[in-house]
Every structure is written in structure tokens, then in C-alpha cells.
Amino acid sequence: MALEDYRADCVSCSRCSYCKWIPFDHVKSWRFSRACPSIEYSKFQAYSLGGRLSVALSLMEGRSGYSEALKDIVWKCQTDGACDVADKICRYNIEGLEVLHELRFRLVEEGQTLPRHMAVIDNLRKEHNTMLKPKAGRGKWAEGLDVKDLTREKAEVVFHAGCRFSYDAELHNIPRTALTLLHKAGVDIGIMGKGEMCCGGRVYDMGYREQFTECARNNIRAWTKAGVKTVVTSCADGYHAFKRLYPELGANFEVLHTVEFIDRLIKEGKIKFKKAVPMTVTYHDPCHLGRRGEPYVPWQGKRKKIFGQIPVWEPPKPRYNGAWGVYQPPRDVLKAIPGLELVEMERIREYAWCCGAGGGVIDAYPDFSLWTAAERIEEAKSTGAEAIVGACPWCERNFMDAVKAKDEKIKVYDVIELVQRAI
């Protein structure tokens, strides 16, 4: 697809501003009613989904050209998709999030890039990670674990740590625990270790389609060779890439986030909790596990008009509007932990506020990224919870940094860490 293929989506934006807010039915307060970090931070209309559709149209019509301002509009956005969910409350014929991506693809193809993103891409090409780190350090997180190395052995299940968990030492306990839990529950599981390749999901969101495809093909090849049937990850970005993007390239693996796997094991009685964790926590839905974590549905279709002027797809096009993301398993896991109380924030599930790290924002606009995280921390605090719990290393890193920057008391955990405490 090319940007021009989305012209109808752009012109049919009604400029209603739903994309700036959480679904109105769910508005519980003035304070936590907004959905789009980008417009809240940058304020001008262009920084909303509707605004970006008009900017795309302006670009396509030659009314405005490439400029630093345009790049800022295009990339100062987490591609978290809250706008897309709100838009699709009323619209079936605008693929807003796809337009946000197409704008990025177009700019990248035309060489209109951001230096900070290019640094990430260069490192990805050379070192296979987005963390600006050397390839050699990739497997360190798993040192000392008794686990199959799938670059040499075979297993049913591969555990993909992902770039953040691999290189962020403060978070290493999380993939280690997840892997150990699954291993102990009898799962035939292995890792790629230092041969692991970035999932490519983050660079896809940054607009680097080719680099994504390269990563995906590499991973698909390696997993196939290792006889893998199921891919498990504790990273929401990776989950989205494997669940939603890889099938488009022909991948055919079962994809599970560890919260889903652990939820399954708890329900099957294969994980049992022995200790109470007396704590009140609130759960943050990672965008890529929640609204963007819906399963891929294969589809090809043609446009036709019915009833005179209703453009529809034949056969019906799958709808990605956040309805089928992974929301309940992490909540069920938390609720199963003895002594733990889960309290909800106002913006949850498909209309959760983003952590701020996605879409290349953490790389190019660290201040905006932290501001977005701080906003979520405020919301978490408003529930009275002692901790905000996530299921993605990018969210957790950003929350930890925001908590530190603001000298807050609230703790940041991964679901896995609380499971570990209860076992």
C-alpha cells in the first residue's frame, strides 16, 4: 500500500475530534479523559489523528512539502492507536493508524528521516538490536540459566526476550523469571540467546518497513529451523510484531505473551501460589498487547458500493478496533495472587493511556516520552495503588524513569515479578 491508497480515508475524516479523547462513554472525569499524548503535549491540531489525516492530504495534494515541522508532526506520536480505537467508535471506513504508518513509510522512503532514528536503524543493521548496543551482549540476561540454545537445539517453544529485556540490566530478572517458570511447568522451551534478532516491531512503527521485514524473515527462518511451534515473549512490542505483523509474511506460529501462558498454566493448575502478596496494585495495559495486540486475520478483498454511496469491502474486511486485544489474562493472573488487590485506573483496556515509549518517541523525543509516562503515573497514583504493574519492558522502563524524575513513591512491577513473589 502507499499513502495515496488512503486518500479516501483522509478526506472522509469528519474533523469530529473523537480521536483526541477516550471513548466518551467511558469518560469518568475531566482529568483523565484525554486519549492522545501527542495533541496533549504539542497542542496544535496537526498533532492529532484527524490533524495528521489532513496533513497527509495536504502533502498528497502538494499544498505543503517536507520540512522539519512536518517531520515533527509525523514522528511526535507513539503510534499507540488510542486515536484509532476512538475513531472507530463511529467509523468503519477510516484506517487511521495505517495512515500514520504510511506517512512514516513515505517520509523514510523519501529520505526524510530523524537523525536519532537513523542511529537506531544503523545499529539494528550492524548489531541486530535497537538499543544502540553491540550484538555480543545480547544473551547476557540468560547467563547461568539451564535452558536450550535454539541456535543449536530444537524445542517446541521459543522464548523471545527482545531488545529491551536483553540489554536493560535492571529488568533482567523479569525474562529470567518468566523463562524459569515456564521451564519448571514442564514447557519444552529454549532461547536464541545471543543469536536472537530484534523483532522489528519498533522499527516498523518508526516507519522502517524494510528493516522490519528483514528482522521478521530472519526470526521466522531461525524458529522454523529450530522446530518451533510457539513463540512466547514478555515484551508487548514483540508480541504485536509476532501476532499481527509476522503472519502477513507467512509466519504460522502460535504466539503467546507470558501473561497468557501463565494465566493458562494457573488455570490448568500447573502453577500454584503459596505466598500472599499483600499489596494494592493497578494494571497498565501496554498498547501493543491490548488494542494493538489483536490477532491477524488473513483477508483480501475488493471495494464496491452498496445502497448507492456506501463503500464497503467484499468479503468483509477484518476490523481492528481494540475489541480483541489481551486484557483479561494479566488481570486474571493478578487476581489469582493471594492477598493482592487490583484497582483499575480510569483509562484501561482498549482506551488505556500510552506509556510514552512507543513509535520511536523514546528514541527521538525523550522529554515527550517521559511526560507521557508521568501522566500515566499520576493516573496510577489517583487509584491509591502502591504499584503500577505492566507487561512490557518499554512501559516499565519509561515508568521507572518517570517515577525517578519526579521522585515519586509508587513502585513499578512486571506481572511476572508479582507471580514470582507469590510462588
Partner 1 sequence: MALSREAYRALEDIVGPENISEEPAILDSYAFQWLAETIRPGQSKFMPRPEAAVLPGSTAEVQAIVKTCNRYKIKVKPYSTGWYFYCAPQTEGVIQLDMRRMDRILEIDERNMFAVVEPYVIAATLQAEVMKLGLNCNVTGAGASCSLLASATSYHGAGPSSIFGGENNQNLLSLEWVMPNGDILRTGSLGSGLGWFCGEGPGPSLRGIVRGMLGAKGGLGVFTKCALKLSPWPGPAELPVEGTVPAYNSPLPDNFRAYSLAFPSWENYFEAYYKIYDNEIGYIAHRQFSMLGTELGTAFWMLYNDPTKTLDDIEEFTQKPEIKKLTEEMKIAFQIVLAGLTPRHLEYQEKVLDEILADTGGWKVAAMSQPAMERFTLLYLIRLGHKNLNFVYNGGWLGTFMQAGPPDYVKGYRHIAEEVTEPYQKKGLLVDCGVDAMMGPVGSMGGGGNCALEQFGYYDVADKESTDAVVSWTKDCVKGAIDKGFVPGKGSHYLAMGMTREQRQSSYASAPWLGMYRWQRKIKGIIDPNDIGDELYPTLDEPGK
Dist CA 211 CA 131 (whole Å):
15
Binding-site member from 186, 274, 309, 407 for partner 1 (CB under 8 A): 309
Considering Cα of 242, then 248, then 249, then 254, what sign does the dihedral take? positive
CB of 222 to partner 1, least distance (A): 35
In DSSP terms, 342 is beta-bridged to: 281
Q: Which does 96 bind (CB under 5 to 8 A by kind): partner 1, ligand SF4, none?
A: ligand SF4
CB of 62 to ligand SF4, least distance (A): 22
Dist CA 75 CA 362 (whole Å):
11
Q: Which does 80 bind (CB under 5 to 8 A by kind): ligand SF4, partner 1, none?
A: ligand SF4
Q: Per CB under 8 A, which of residues 40..59 are in contact with partner 1?
A: 43-46, 50-55, 57-59
Q: Which does 345 bind (CB under 5 to 8 A by kind): ligand SF4, partner 1, none?
A: none
221 belongs to the binding site for ligand SF4 (CB under 6 A): no
The DSSP secondary structure of 281-328, one letter per residue, reads: EEE---TTTTTT-PPP-----EEEEETTTEEEEESPPP--SSTTSS-H
Binding-site member from 92, 105, 296, 371 for partner 1 (CB under 8 A): 92
Q: Per CB under 8 A, which of residues 227..256 are in contact with partner 1?
A: none
Q: Which amino acid is at 150?
A: L
Tell me if 316 sits within 8 A of 338, measured CB to CB. no
Site mask, ligand SF4, residues 87-116, x = CB under 6 A? Answer: x---x--x-x---x----------------
State in Å, rounded, how far the first CA of the chain is from the last one: 48
Dist CA 388 CA 40 (whole Å):
22
Q: Per CB under 8 A, which of residues 347..366 are in contact with partner 1?
A: 350
Binding-site member from 1, 2, 16, 118 for partner 1 (CB under 8 A): 16
Torsion of CA 181, 182, 188, 192, to 10 degrees: -90
85 belongs to the binding site for ligand SF4 (CB under 6 A): no
CB of 15 to ligand SF4, least distance (A): 5
Tell me the three cell numbers of residue 407: 521522585
328 belongs to the binding site for partner 1 (CB under 8 A): no
Q: Per CB under 6 A, which of residues 17..36 are in contact with ligand SF4?
A: 17-19, 35-36
Dist CA 281 CA 341 (whole Å):
6
Closest CA to 196 of 129, 289, 254, 243: 129
Q: Per CB under 6 A, which of residues 63..82 are in contact with ligand SF4?
A: 77-82
Dist CA 63 CA 313 (whole Å):
31
Query: Which region, judged by CB under 8 A, interacts with partner 1, from 37-45, 145-153, 167-175, 357-365?
Result: 37-45
Dist CA 357 CA 202 (whole Å):
10
SS3 170: helix
Residue nearest to ligand SF4 (CB): 50
The alpha carbon of 135 is separated from its chain's Cα centroid by a whole number of angstroms, namely 23
Dist CA 76 CA 46 (whole Å):
11
Q: Which does 23 bind (CB under 5 to 8 A by kind): partner 1, ligand SF4, none?
A: partner 1
Dist CA 330 CA 344 (whole Å):
13
Q: Per CB under 6 A, which of residues 343..382 are in contact with ligand SF4?
A: 354
CB of 56 to partner 1, least distance (A): 10
297 belongs to the binding site for partner 1 (CB under 8 A): no
Q: What share of the chain is helix, strand, coil (3-state, %, to 5)?
A: 50, 10, 40
12 belongs to the binding site for partner 1 (CB under 8 A): yes
280 belongs to the binding site for partner 1 (CB under 8 A): no
Dist CA 325 CA 291 (whole Å):
5
Q: To which H or E segment does residue 74 belong?
A: helix 68-75
Binding-site member from 37, 190, 201, 390 for ligand SF4 (CB under 6 A): 37
* Cell 512539502 -> residue: 65
Binding-site member from 132, 185, 312, 336 for partner 1 (CB under 8 A): 312
CB of 52 to ligand SF4, least distance (A): 6
CB of 133 to ligand SF4, least distance (A): 27
180 belongs to the binding site for partner 1 (CB under 8 A): no
Tell me the three cell numbers of residue 233: 515473549
Dist CA 390 CA 345 (whole Å):
13
DSSP code at position 247: G
203 belongs to the binding site for partner 1 (CB under 8 A): no
Binding site for ligand SF4 (CB under 6 A): 13-19, 35-38, 48-50, 53, 77-83, 86-87, 91, 94, 96, 100, 354
Binding site for partner 1 (CB under 8 A): 7-8, 10-18, 21, 23-30, 33, 43-46, 50-55, 57-59, 63-65, 67, 69-70, 73, 85, 88-94, 305-317, 319, 321-323, 350
